[in-house]
Structure 1
């Protein structure tokens, strides 16, 4: 739990608008964290210019892959940049940190990669199980909808072979936006081993296929009151929920990837 908050999250909790030094610092933190693991992540950037109300802005996708030639993969995603909010004249020095949207999900992904480091290293060459890839996208609301588009670019960017109908061999795209309740089939097993803390929340799993890629979007419902406000800070995160969901996702990854 401590590593998630202190090591992974704190460097992300800054203003990180696309194309700014804050975004660059967070991108470096994420890339260096993944590169430092023993699993053997190949970490690359896919950068592009796009028009915005602030003019032309450089956006950069962080693409981390294990065994780029693997025919099947699970893509774990969220966005790492923060949203532009109007200045509040009452607190002109305040900036939008976007803890739930989506600094904490980024930290959760880094925690998952760190926690499963040894298992992922041993799994790297196994078939027929899919391998894990991590994509952290710039921007906010649109990231989950552009994720399938970016998986198509992966075929060329990372030399991924095309298998069946799945775009670039991606069999499941799992997008994490904000923290939610745990799945009924996983939580009792974790409770049995005293690995989960009690909490109450609700859940929304959005599951569909697009271009042959299954998409599982994990997002809370209803949205929290601090959604898209300056109050989206670490202090307003419910730590037991964040830590419990991270454990649930670790179990899901272990079972899906065939540990």
Structure 2
């Protein structure tokens, strides 16, 4: 309980707001359109390929991320963190690992004074079995984060421009209220090359956490180093299969888990979750099917009863979470350095886990889209974007289509997929 108190004290001392999104705002969260089409979707399709660290597939996917941010989100600052390591599968050969960090901070705030929500997924795939795609593990989560970043970008700009107009960004302003940023970490080398151990796994995460711990911010900064600037480390993994069940793994972030769970419940109630059995389109189809059956049997038509609503975050109505073990993942090196973790990984794992069936064809795209919408809503609420998420879905779709067109042109003009890095 002491740790929970300290965490809230930290939030309060930094002046963090956390304004609940209205129903109208939740309804404006953009749909991904065709971005998650597994064949030619602008966000997801380029990631659905083998991407073992140090291979051309890995470089191609990293270039896809870079092109997305440079084309669609030029206000995000891109950084690369590089490392090399020997692995049990490659002997004395040094394998390169490249982490991509995309950051959006308030324009007036020094980097050391910004507390950030870190949205995290790994982009590498397993060495074996040969040709393994890893759609849930974690191509789809990477695409979800790209969608979330694009969906909140205009709202961040508008909110910060309003704050600057009110004098919050002026030299005379004291305090750090509003110094909240968002950061996307696309990590390399999560997978073991042979058998999961503390040394054969988490290559990129271990390197990044160690480097950030040893990188001091400027003197007199609010946060001593980039590690301490992470307010919450939200890690997505193994997402995209039907009917996931996500427990609450950490007591100190159960409040954030419940906040996301509340958003899930509200999105479902508003008919915004496509995977829901009670989504308006599914209800309409089911009603038509039942009415046709009753008509053929000369039975009386009756109102359609709602089906039991599932929930991804199964413990969000619990006031507390029981102490439990956790799943080893990219959060470990950060957690060991005091970072608060919210881990979105299902228990049990998807049936396709670490098999050749973990490919695009075995994704449930309705579930993928729902996760993208939920992560967007949570990020918008965390960043206090109520009143600013009013950009139309049509505008967002056009932005996606423009990126898709430029991405296709680039792939046609660069068939050898040479690195831009």
CA distance in 1, matches of 2:43, 2:148: 11
Q: 1:83-103: CA deviations, max 9, x gaps? A: 11144xxxxxxx111100010
From 81, 86, 106, the counterpart of 1:46: 81
Does the 8 Å CA contact 1:39/1:117 hold for their aligned counterparts? no
Query: How far off is 1:146 after superposition?
Result: 6.5
For the 8 Å contact 2:83–2:204, the answer to whether it is kept is no
Within the candidate set 28, 50, 70, 1:35 is matched to 70
Distance in 1, matches of 2:42 and 2:347, equals 28
Tell me the alpha carbon deviations over residues 100-120 of structure 1, each in whole angstroms, 9 at most, x when there is no partner: 001001111111111112113
2:271 corresponds to: 194
Matched, 1:108 2:234: no
**Is 1:21–2:56 an aligned residue pair?**
yes
Q: TM-score, normalised by structure 2?
A: 0.54
Distance in 1 (alpha carbons) for counterparts of 2:231 and 2:154: 23
1:158 & 1:138 partners in 2: Cα distance?
A: 23
What corresponds to 1:153 in structure 2? 211
Residues 38 and 83 of structure 1, relative CA distance in 2, 3 Å threshold: closer
Q: Which residue does 2:379 correspond to in 1?
A: 253
Which residues in structure 2 correspond to 1:208-227 (within 5 Å)? 210-227=336-353
Of 101, 111, 123, the residue aligned with 1:63 is 101
By relative contact order (CA 8 Å, sep 6+), the higher-ranking structure is 2
Check conservation: 1:203, 1:219, Cα contact below 8 A. no
Match in the other structure for 2:358? 232
SS of 1:133 mapped into structure 2:
strand
What is the aligned counterpart of 1:75 among 109, 118, 124? 118
- Unaligned regions of 5+ residues in structure 1, if any? 88-94
User: Do 2:117 and 2:183's aligned partners in 1 also have CA atoms closer than 8 Å?
Assistant: yes
Q: Which of 158, 168, 171 lines up with 2:231 in the alignment?
A: 171
RMSD: 3.0
Larger strand proportion, structure 1 or 2? 1
Q: How many residues are aligned here?
A: 251
Q: Is the Cα–Cα contact under 8 Å of residues 190 and 204 in structure 2 kept in the other structure? A: no
CA displacement at 1:159 relative to structure 2: 5.4
Partner of 1:96: 132
In structure 2, how many angstroms separate the alpha carbons of the residues matched to 1:158 and 1:136?
22
Distance in 2, matches of 1:66 and 1:156, equals 22
Q: What is the distance in 2 between the residues matched to 1:257 and 1:7?
A: 26
Contact 1:148 1:213 in 2 (8 A): no
Q: Compute the TM-score of the two structures, normalised by the length of structure 1.
A: 0.84
When Rg is computed on C-alpha atoms for both structures, the one with the higher figure is 2
Gaps of 5+ in 2: 1-31, 164-176, 192-200, 247-259, 278-309, 316-325, 386-421
